[in-house]
Amino acid sequence: MRGVMILLTIPVALFADAGRVFRPASEPGPKSRPAYQAPLAGLFNEQQGPIVNYRGYAYADCAANAPALRVVALQGVVPDGIPRTPPRPSIEILINAPIDKAVGQQFTVESKAGAGGAVVSSCPVVGDCSPAGNGTVAVISKADDGTIVGEFRAKWAIGAPRAGRFTVAWRQSENKCG
């Protein structure tokens, strides 16, 4: 019985201690507690990790019956036979502008972008793609062989913001808009 009472009082004691501010040892006042006893503040901070390099492919697509550019960015080696449709682990970028108007431009990321905007989605192998809530996408250049270079910075509802550079090959598409 005594053991049960002790187990029940531990969470109460921890909760009562969670709001106290502890100062570093260099400041006057109460001494700081060791790092292993530090409160959980900052455990899930929103710091952005390093920029990730992606490979993949891009093709002409349609969005709301208007020409659009779709970039499928994957980490690692991209096999030729990669499926054109999910499931595949990727970052999918839909820019609501044709490729010739997208090069050299920066677009605002929204979860449902209109004309001149972009949608950046994180697509797992299992489950639905999740669109980012905000951010930016820039299409930096298009080479003579069709290779497109760009970068994105986006923030999803869960997790830290993500940033990436993509170098993707152009794939001819049969999509016709209108």
Q: pLDDT of 29-44, one tens digit each? A: 555 444 444 443 343 3
Half-sphere CA count of 138, side-chain side, radius 13 A:
9
Q: Which of 20-34, 43-57, 138-152 has the highest mean pLDDT?
A: 138-152
Q: Each residue of 113-148: b (16+ CB within 10 Å) or e?
A: beeebbbbbbbeeeeeebbbeebebbbeebeeeeeb
pLDDT of amino acid 148: 96
Round to whole Å and give the CA distance between 119 and 54: 17
Round to whole Å and give the CA distance between 75 and 54: 5
pLDDT of amino acid 40: 37
3-state secondary structure of 99: helix
Round to whole Å and give the CA distance between 91 and 132: 10
Residue 21: pLDDT band (50, 70, 90) is very low
- Work out the average pLDDT over 39-67: 70
Residue type, 148: I
| Residue 11 reports pLDDT greater than 60 | no
Round to whole Å and give the CA distance between 168 and 137: 14
Tens-place pLDDT, residues 103-130: 999 999 998 878 889 999 988 777 788 8
Domain chopping of the chain, boundaries: 2-37, 52-170
Mean pLDDT, the chain, rounded, equals: 75
